[in-house]
Homo-oligomer: A and B are copies of this chain.
Amino acid sequence: MTALDIAEYTHTLGSQAKTASALMARAPAAIKNKALRALAQLLRDNVQPLQHDNARDLERAVAAGLDAPMVDRLKLTPKVIETCAQGCEQLAAMPDIIGEILGMKQQPSGIRVGQMRVPIGVFGMIYESRPNVTIEAASLSIKSGNACILRGGSEAIESNKALARLVVQALAQAGLPAHGVQLVETTDRAAVGQLIAMPQFVDVIIPRGGKGLIERISAEAKVPVIKHLDGNCHTYVDDPCDIAMAVTVADNAKTQKYSPCNASEGLLVARGVAADFLPRIGAVYAAKGVEMRCDAEALALLAAVPGAKLVPATEQDWGEEYLAPIISVKVVAGVDEAIAHINRYGSHHTDAILTTNHQHAQQFLRDVDSASVMVNASTRFADGFEYGLGAEIGISTDKFHARGPVGIEGLTSLKYVVLGEGEIRT
């Protein structure tokens, strides 16, 4: 396609989405849930055809020399498909929040004023690799009464097309508009540039993927963007704390999985407990092959740990998101220095204090300027499902609109509803 063709194509998608969004917004809960259940059934009924289309993506990926983890993320296994189907059913079972009216109160003039939750309208989603995101985004769009335009990675185009066809069938079965969920079927990158610059059609863009992608989209988008750039999360081990618990949690926060954005990349330890705590966590990390990038004080306390991979930390390490078996380690005077360090070097994503001191916990919760702040829990919990949102469309580290894991509520807005009996302003 030429640049002009692509502009026309995305413009058509946008215009169709806008029209569909009005119908999606007023769809009754029962209809939306019917579509979600139909989608679950269609996924289960089409495991083989889906795998057939997925195989074409996988062949191309292998031929293109993508590494094994990348190829793995592309795979639509029966298990991945079943998880998608269950996700749709879980959403269908959740209460519908569209149309709820909050805080209706009578004012001195006699009018009653409240706020009604309504869909945002149209969201655009830009993502990479995993084709199951197509189903996650489509199902959240249906449940929240929004229309959406989905732009998956070129490496997953055949899988995404096959999944999108099932979504369109499910919409039709429930009597919802076919353009409620649309997939961008061209892999031309110019389509992304168009999609993020149509404020007349698209209300918000949600990018998921590498930092480069998200930075580019944020810089160029003409509409609001729900995003997080970095997950430089911290676990701070306070004085006083339950050392055994701190070892367990600091271990989990770093090593349960290395790639998620909510894994801890920095470990801060209060001086008063460092001599006791550091050798113990150091032994755990050493056993798991986690490299420790340490300040001088931590280095000295860890020097005797057998097999520990110790590297002196540079200034750059404090701001790094490793997404790997590496953690930065620093000894601090106490909670004040820990908070200052996190607010300076962190990415405002998720940070935890492990403490038995009430005031330290309160201070940390109040003063750490992050989307999620935790006391005595693993940063790995920062997740829509773990927070009870039912689903997650993304995580926001901005303060505007949604902050932290974004579920259905983040895809809605509140409009004021005023009920009167003929009141006038005097």
Residues of A within 8 A of B (CB): 22, 25-26, 99, 105, 107, 109, 111, 113, 116, 118, 120-121, 203-204, 224, 242, 245, 248-249, 251-253, 256, 343, 352, 354, 365-367, 369-378, 380-382, 386-388, 399-401, 403-405, 413-426
Contact = CB atoms under 8 A, between A and B. Distances in A.
Complex A-B, nearest 3 residue pairs according to Cβ-Cβ distance, in ascending order? A377-B420, A252-B424, A245-B422
Contacts of A375: 418-420
Given A399-B203, A424-B256, A377 B416 contact: no
A371 B248 CA distance: 49
17 contacts: A111-B381, A116-B373, A118-B369, A249-B422, A253-B424, A352-B418, A371-B415, A373-B417, A374-B417, A375-B418, A376-B422, A381-B423, A387-B416, A399-B413, A401-B401, A403-B414, A404-B415
Given A105-B388, A372-B416, 9 more contacts: A22-B343, A22-B367, A99-B366, A203-B400, A245-B421, A256-B425, A372-B418, A381-B423, A399-B413
A288 to B, nearest CB: 14
A248 B256 CA distance: 67
A424 B249 contact: yes
Contact of A381 (B109, B121, B352): B109
Contacts of A387: 107, 113, 416, 418
A248 B422 contact: yes
Contact of A224 (B224, B343, B413): B224
Contact of A415 (B118, B245, B373): B373
A25 B366 CA distance: 9
Nearest to A113: B387
A405 B416 contact: yes
Contacts of A399: 120-121, 203, 413
A382 to B, nearest CB: 7
A11 to B, nearest CB: 19
Contacts of A420: 374-378, 381
A403 B376 CA distance: 36
A249 B109 CA distance: 14
Nearest to A340: B22
A106 B375 CA distance: 14
B107 A388 contact: yes
Contacts of A121: 369, 399
Contact of A424 (B378, B382, B401, B414): B378
A180 to B, nearest CB: 17
Nearest to A405: B416
Nearest to A413: B399
Given A245-B422, A421-B376, A422-B376, A400 B413 contact: yes
A354 B417 CA distance: 14
Contact of A425 (B370, B380, B416): B380
B109 A417 contact: no
A295 to B, nearest CB: 24
Contacts of A203: 399-400
